Amino acid sequence: MLKSTGIIRRIDELGRIVIPKEIRRNLGIRDGENIEIFMENESIILKKYNRLESTQELATKLCNLIYNTFNYSIIITDREKVLSSSGMPEFINNLKINSEYLNIMENREIIIKENYEINVDNETLNGNFIFIPIISLNDSIGLVIMYNKEKLTNELALGKLISSIFNEKLDI
């Protein structure tokens, strides 16, 4: 069911409307981002377009492959939530991304945190983490997070490879 905002906007001579800043902020829509347009009966529905959402099946397959082959725990996110994970508690899937991870994405640098503690939904993960931003069309759109309770070995190389796979798939 659609929720009314009480906001009315006029369409200009070029067919444009302005989405109010508060609505954009509440939905996490940044300047320059794409919006997907749907029609339902006599309604127009605007949805924040998520390039990684169309690759969720790929994310799941890659996570499972990495975990089953190398026994490395992995998380793949978009800018809003966890898309897929393997070797991690099940509740992590679909968790919202907090500002710490958004900052890592925005800085576009690989971060390695050893002997680090993450609190997620009343559960603590202790160990070593690698955060690798996924960059597509010069935009930071997600993270590959590798996790190991023990010493990190080949996780960095595998994480870079997975990030590159998404970069190549989405830069079309």
Q: How confident is the model over 70-119, as pLDDT tens digits?
A: 888 999 988 888 889 999 888 888 888 888 888 999 999 999 999 998 87
Contacts 24+ apart (CB under 8 A), 62-69: 62/162, 62/165, 66/158, 66/162
Identify the structural domains of the chain with CATH numbers, from first to last: 1-49 (2.10.260.10), 52-170 (3.30.450.40)
| Cα gap 79→5, rounded to integer Å | 25
Summarised one tens digit per residue, pLDDT across range 20-71 is 888 888 877 878 777 888 888 888 888 877 665 667 788 888 899 989 998 8
What are the two backbone dihedrals, phi and then psi, of residue 61, each rounded to the nearest 5 degrees?
-65, -40
